[in-house]
Amino acid sequence: MFSGSSPGARPQYAAAATALGRDLAGRGLRVVYGGGGIGLMAAVADAALAAGGDVIGVIPQHLVDREVAHGGLSELRVTGSMHERKATMAELSDGFVALPGGFGTLEEFAEVLTWSQLGLQSKPCGLLDVAGYYGALLAFLDHAVTERFVRAEHRAMVLADTDAGRLLDAMERWTPPTAGKFPGPPGPGRLSDCRTELSSRAGGWEHGAVAQFVVRPASAADARAMAEAFAAVAEERDGIASEPPVDVDERAALFARSAAGSVVAVAGDQIIGMIHVEVSRFGFGEFGMFVDRGWRRRGVGAALVQAAIGWARGQGLHKLCLEVFAHNTAAIALYRKSGFVEEGRRVKQYRRASGELWDSIVMGLLL
C-alpha cells in the first residue's frame, strides 16, 4: 500500500484510508506499507490492526531516526536505504494499491507498474481515486495511449475505483496482459516473420538475402534455435575456446525470458549473428554479441549494434552496458564508433583450463 505521509486537505482521504485498512483485514489480506505512524499511512495501518489484521511496515533507518515509525505494528522491518525499502515491499506484496499521496506515492506506484509492464512481475496495481484525486493522472494515461507512448493493454493494467471494496474485487479478478512491453515474437519454430531486409543499406553485407529482425522468442523452438546458433560459434568467440561448452538448455531459457529482447541477423535460414539484451528492472540493458566467423568484417556487427540501440530506445531503456575483452580491439573500436564509452577496466577469469586472466573493459551508452 502506497499513500501520503500527510492526511491531506479533505476528510474523505482519511476516511477512505480507514475503509481500505478495514476491508483488507476483513478479507484476511496482510497489509504491507511504508511503516510510518503519520498521515494516511497510519490511518490504513491503524484500521487494519483494529480489525484484527496483520500489518508489516518497511521503513529506512533514517526515517526511524526521525521518529516517524509506527510503534504498534505486527512487524516492522528497518532497511538501510529507500531502494532496499521499495524492493522489500515489492517482494512481500501480491498487489499494490495507491491512496492519495505526493511524489513518493506516485514514484512507488509508477515503478511497480513498470515492473508489471516489463514482465518482471505479475501483480495487480490499483489507484483508490478518492474525491477525484487521480482524475488528472488517469486522463494523462489516456492521453499517452492516444499519442502512442503507452499501449492500450498496458493502460488497462492501471485499475482505478472510488470505492475500496470494488477496487480490491477488480484486483482479485485481474489477469496480466498477454502482450509484453517488447515486440511480439514470430510463430512457433520460425524466426522469419519479423524480417526486414538490410542488404541494400548495410554496407558490406554479402550473399543477398541478409536480414535482421527483433524478436523476444515465446516458443521453445525459437529460443532453442537461437541458443544452438550461439553455441555453434561460442568456441570462436574472442578467439578463445569455451570451457565448459555452452549449455544449450540454459541459454535457451535465457533467450525465452520475458524481460529480454534479441536482435538477430540471418542469411537464408542460417543465424549468423545476434545481440541479446537482458533488461533490468531499473531500465538498463546489458547485452552480449556474437557474429559467425564467416560473416565478420562484412558490416554485420555494426548493423546489429545499431539495430540493438534503436530497439532499446524504442523500449524506453535508459542505458546499454556491455563488457568486452581488452584484447578484442576490433569490437572495442566498433562499440566506440557506435557511441559507447569506457567506464572501467577489470581483470576477468575466463573459463579456461589454463586459468589465464584477461583484462576486460566495461562500456556504456546513455540512450
Higher pLDDT, 242 or 54: 54
pLDDT of amino acid 240: 43
Average pLDDT over residues 150-166: 91
CATH no. of 11-173: 3.40.50.450
Higher pLDDT, 252 or 332: 332
- Express each pLDDT in 2-35 by its tens digit: 999 999 999 999 999 999 999 999 999 999 999 9
Q: Which residue carries 528497518 as its cell?
A: 78
CATH no. of 196-366: 3.40.630.30
Taking the domains of the chain in order of start, what are their residue ranges?
11-173, 196-366
Query: Does the pLDDT at position 287 exceed 50?
Result: yes
- Is the separation of the CB atoms in 285 and 266 below 8 Å? no
Angle between helices 103-117 and 82-92 (to 10 degrees): 50
- Is the separation of the CB atoms in 177 and 154 below 8 Å? yes
Q: Which of 232, 234, 233, 227 is nearest to 249 (CA)?
A: 227
Q: How confident is the model at residue 295 (pLDDT cuts 50, 70, 90)?
A: low
- Is the separation of the CB atoms in 199 and 210 below 8 Å? yes
Question: What Rg value do the Cα atoms of the chain yield, rounded?
Answer: 25
The region that residue 39 occupies, defined by phi over 0 for left and psi between -120 and 50 for alpha, beta otherwise, is: left
Least confident of 40-44, 249-253, 340-344: 249-253
Average pLDDT over residues 54-58: 95
pLDDT of amino acid 275: 77
Cell of 243: 570451457
Higher pLDDT, 186 or 158: 158
Cell of 77: 522491518
* Same fold? 11-173, 196-366: no
pLDDT of amino acid 118: 75
- Is the separation of the CB atoms in 90 and 84 below 8 Å? no
End-to-end Cα, the chain, rounded Å: 32
Q: How confident is the model at residue 212 (pLDDT cuts 50, 70, 90)?
A: very low
Query: Does the pLDDT at position 58 exceed 80?
Result: yes
Q: Which of 200, 222, 202, 198 is nearest to 211 (CA)?
A: 198
Question: Which residue stretches of 256-348 are H helix?
Answer: 300-314, 329-337
Least confident of 54-58, 112-116, 294-298, 314-318: 294-298
Q: Which residue carries 561460442 as its cell?
A: 234
Helix (H, G, I), strand (E, B) or coil at 59: strand
How far is Cα 240 from Cα 237, in angstroms, rounded to an integer? 6
Strands (E), 31-147: 31-33, 55-60, 75-79, 96-98, 125-128
Helix (H, G, I), strand (E, B) or coil at 213: strand
Higher pLDDT, 61 or 307: 61
- Is the separation of the CB atoms in 261 and 215 below 8 Å? yes
Q: Which residue carries 482479485 as its cell?
A: 172
- Express each pLDDT in 226-281 by its tens digit: 677 666 655 444 444 444 566 778 777 766 664 466 667 766 556 677 777 776 65
